[in-house]
Homo-oligomer: A and B are copies of this chain.
Amino acid sequence: MRATTIRDVARRADVSVASVSRALNGHANVHPETRARVAAAAAALGYVPHAGARSLSLARTHSIGVVLPDLYGEFFSEIVRGMDRETTARGYHLLLSNMHADAELAALAMRSMRGRVDGLIVMAPQLDAAGLAAALPRDLPAVLINAAAGTGCPLLRIDNATGIDAVVAHLAATGRRAPVHLAGQEANIDGRERREAFAAAMARHLPGAPVRVVEGDFSEEAGARAVAALRAAGDPFDAIVAANDMMALGALLALRDAGTDVPGEVAVTGFDDVPLARYLSLTTVRIDLVELGGRAVVRLIERLSGSGEVDSGEAELVGAALIVRGTSAVATETRT
């Protein structure tokens, strides 16, 4: 059976489709009786407006597209949660899509959203400004998260420098002298920034100490591998400053497996403060991921409904705060 359309309602209420449209959308200029007849007919028929047709006519879909590197892990799900909150509060919908590392596919994914959403929230830490600019559809307003600057789009960034600086300061203050940075991919903007921030922080808080870095890729396995590599190398170290929580976790478990006392011999710190971190008592840098996602939505919707006021396009930094937990607690006296 064909779905009931506005015409069915019009016929049953014995008015024109225009009146049905006006009545149902709460326009002022509708006779009360007409409005009632329409409402009754719609109810009787179980009429539900066709959002697609509505969108085409209004040139407004009330949905926003979200393009993320991938949907796995607590990091992303926290962000999506924040987006969802703001989005439903404003009557918008969320259309998900994950962006493949390949710029070509990324562009395809974004283009496939044209006519389906009013705007885009894109998280593309692995694309540079040029790649991003090429992939972004020209006629879709976008808000970027953790992406390269210089695309002209509003941008939300994590304050990596402040976060890493706080970590290193904390370690230095609690007596650590030989920290090693467990880095994320160089191709990832956050990986790159945190690595640079580490070097800067070392110079500030432990001048003279060597800046040691082990390569990683943000995965738990990378954390374990890094520990193995460090033990093989033999150079002593008393702290691992991981570029994110999952690597910190991998390192932490590997250290404990090997019988190393954490935090006694080695301190371990992460970044992001995913929910998991609290359970494992991991010292880390807290980013309010829910807030980050929410802000992106708010900023995009403001831009969408903005009556011409242009968004400054400026990068907005979201805070990063040190959370000290068990993996970096001051070593208690070891000697009896």
Contacts and interface: CB of A to CB of B under 8 A. Distances in A.
Contacts of A98: 84, 88
B114 A50 contact: yes
Interface residues of A, number: 42
Contact of A71 (B84, B115, B137): B84
Contact of A52 (B116, B137, B276): B116
A284 interface: no
Contacts of A116: 51-52, 55, 63, 93
A43 interface: no
B71 A80 contact: yes
A80 B77 CA distance: 9
Contacts of A71: 77, 80-81, 84
A49, A77, A137: residue with the most chain B Cβ atoms closer than 10 Å = A77
Q: How many copies does the complex hold?
A: 2
Contacts of A49: 114-115
Interface string A66-100: 00000110101100110010001000011111100
A312 B195 CA distance: 56
A95 B95 contact: yes
Contacts of A53: 56, 115
Contact of A77 (B50, B77, B88, B114): B77
Given A52-B56, A93-B97, 14 more contacts: A3-B114, A3-B138, A54-B115, A71-B81, A71-B84, A72-B81, A76-B77, A93-B113, A93-B116, A94-B96, A94-B97, A96-B96, A249-B279, A276-B279
9 contacts: A3-B114, A51-B113, A53-B56, A63-B116, A84-B98, A88-B98, A93-B112, A249-B279, A276-B279
Interface of A: 3, 46, 48-56, 61, 63, 71-72, 74, 76-77, 80-81, 84, 88, 93-98, 111-116, 137-139, 249, 275-276, 279-280
